[in-house]
Structure formats: C-alpha cells, structure tokens
C-alpha cells in the first residue's frame, strides 16, 4: 500500500505509476499541487513550478521557476525542489512551461533562453546614474550577476552559444567585493579590540559617541550623553529623551534642591518617562528603572555648557 508521501503529486511527478503515465497526469481533490504531462503546477495552469526535460545524452534537466507567490505556493516549490535534487539538474527559468503541456520542444526552450536574456537586460537597465554608496552598487551588481548566472547556466546546459555579457562588470564587482570583505574584517578587528577594553576605557568612547550603548556592560550607575543629532539625551542603558525636556527638568530640580521652589504635585517628564522621586538632600533622581546621581547630572550639564562655548 502506498504511503501518503508516495501518493502525493510531487512524488508521482518524478516516479509515476502505469495508470498515471496513461492518464498523463495526477491530481488529488485534496491537494493544490498537481502535474500534467511534463509540468507540475501550483493551484492551476497560471503557476507552473517545473518542467522535466531529458537531453539526448540522457541527462535529466528540470526547468525550475524563479517566481514565487503565496506561502503555500512557496511550500510547493520547496517540495518539488527537494524531490528533484538527487536525479535532476535544476536550471532556473522564469516560466517553465511548454506549448502543448505534454512535450517540451526546441521552440519552448529557445523561448526560455530569450526570456532569461531579457530579464538580464531589464535588470541592467535599472542601473542608476549614481549610487548612494559602494554597498548599494555591490548589491545591484550581485542582483545583475544572479540574472546573468541563470542565463549562462541555461546556455551551457542546453548547448547554446552565448556572449559574456557580464565581462564589463567583473572587475568592478571584484573590487567592491574585496572592499566589502576588508570592511567586515576591520569591523571584526574593532569589535575584538573593543571587547578587550575595560569599562573605564570604554566610557569616554561612549560619552563622545564613538561606540554604541550595547558595547557598555550593564552596571548600576547611570551615565548620560548627548547623541550626535544634538537634540537627544541617551542614558547608558539605552533610554532616550529630548534635550529640551532634560534642560527644563534640570532647572526645576535645581530650584527644588536649593529650597527656592518645591516641586509640588506636577510631574516632570523626560520624553515618555516621569521623574517619580527626587531626593532634595542628595539630588538622587528616580525615573522608571533609572536611579541617577546628581553628580552625573551636573557633569552632563557642564559638558553642554563647555560645548556651547
């Protein structure tokens, strides 16, 4: 008795029994993937997944779609690909379909080749007049090479002559790839150097916006810095709030600390966070999970004054 997997259209597409060969297809009422002739479909004739083709030398070729659609169609595509890996050479095309749905002829194959070449040229035409940076150019070159690789693979496997359309881009591609690798190596080296630093060595780098907050270890004492935009204050735990709120809070807290004006019931907001407690003797500020020492508040305020000067 056939198992559920063996009776699935994906399995029988590659291993049909006599009845299925006679019927020239296999479709189950409960299944949305089916095959007819040499082509397997997802949901309907509008979405062919793959078409089988055997070369004169006996090599089995599977023309496989580069398209995708829904989650279930993506699942069908994965199932067909895994089932084909051992016995078939996969050649990617945009539309793996034959005219009569039963037998793939040379005109169909030539049409696939033309479509692949057109896809390459269409992608090439998307090249902007100027790239934002080398990363965006490298991303575009990789996309272009992907289109060219499919076209070249198709021509090699099916015996077509082709011109090396990517030749003019190879040197630039290699140059940018080396640059990308060098940048990655530099980042890795910098991360390793940073990991060897103590907290005392990291803190000045953090205060001057040279390293990210996640590079600091989690300690109980809270520090403040002004971010590069000049309008946002950030704590050493990654919480941010507007500089305008910080300056307003500092003036009110100074008045409360010198006994010139009590805080009263009014909430002092720092962005979306409210100061829940203020010790007028020590100057200790509590806001959410942050407990901030007055000495750090003074240091931060003085650093703003020196920057302004």
pLDDT tens string 105-143: 788 888 889 999 999 999 999 999 999 999 999 999 999
- pLDDT tens, residue by residue, 277-288: 888 888 898 888
Tell whether 57 is covered by a domain. Answer: yes
- 225 and 296 in a single domain? The answer is yes
Lowest-confidence region among 6-20, 171-185, 240-254, 291-305: 6-20
Tell whether 188 is covered by a domain. Answer: no
C-alpha count within 13 angstroms, C-beta hemisphere, residue 99: 7
State both tokens at 279: 């010790």
Say what the pTM is: 0.62
The domain in which residue 224 lies consists of 216-308
The size of the chain, in residues, is: 309
* Residue 1: per-residue pLDDT: 41
Label residue 243 exposed, middle or buried (CB < 10 Å: 0-12, 13-18, 19+).
middle
Cα 173 to Cα 140: distance, rounded to the nearest angstrom: 10
Tell whether 191 is covered by a domain. Answer: no
Tell whether 24 is covered by a domain. Answer: yes
Q: Is the pLDDT of residue 261 over 70?
A: no
CA distances from 254 to 100, 225, 226, 259 (A): 86, 19, 20, 9
- Average pLDDT value for residue range 220-226: 91
- 111 and 171 in a single domain? The answer is yes
- β pairing state of 60-65 and 89-93: parallel
């Amino acid at each position: 008795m056939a198992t559920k997997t063996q009776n699935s259209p994906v399995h029988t597409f590659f291993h049909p029994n006599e009845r299925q060969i006679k019927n020239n297809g296999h479709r189950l009422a409960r299944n949305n993937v089916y095959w007819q002739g040499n082509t397997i479909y997802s949901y309907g004739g509008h979405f062919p997944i793959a078409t089988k083709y055997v070369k004169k030398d006996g090599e089995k070729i599977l023309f496989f779609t580069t398209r995708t659609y829904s989650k279930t169609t993506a699942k069908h595509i994965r199932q067909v690909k895994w089932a084909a890996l051992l016995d078939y050479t996969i050649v990617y095309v945009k539309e793996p379909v034959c005219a009569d749905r039963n037998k793939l002829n040379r005109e169909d194959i030539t049409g696939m080749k033309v479509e692949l070449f057109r896809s390459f040229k269409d992608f090439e035409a998307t090249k902007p007049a100027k790239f934002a940076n080398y990363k965006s150019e490298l991303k575009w070159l990789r996309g272009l090479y992907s289109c060219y690789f499919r076209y070249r693979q198709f021509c090699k496997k099916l015996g077509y002559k082709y011109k090396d359309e990517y030749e003019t881009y190879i040197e630039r591609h290699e140059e940018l790839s080396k640059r990308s690798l060098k940048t990655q190596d530099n980042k890795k080296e910098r991360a390793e150097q940073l990991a060897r630093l103590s907290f005392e060595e990291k803190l000045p780098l953090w205060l001057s916006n040279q390293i990210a907050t996640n590079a600091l270890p989690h300690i109980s004492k809270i520090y403040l810095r002004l971010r590069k935009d000049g309008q946002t204050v950030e704590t050493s735990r990654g919480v941010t709030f507007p500089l305008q709120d910080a300056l307003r809070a500092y003036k009110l807290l100074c008045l409360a600390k010198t006994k010139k004006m009590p805080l009263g019931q009014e909430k002092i907001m720092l962005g979306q966070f409210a100061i829940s407690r203020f010790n007028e003797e020590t100057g200790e500020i509590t806001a959410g999970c942050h407990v901030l020492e007055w000495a750090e508040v003074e240091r931060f305020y003085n650093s703003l004054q020196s920057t302004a000067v």
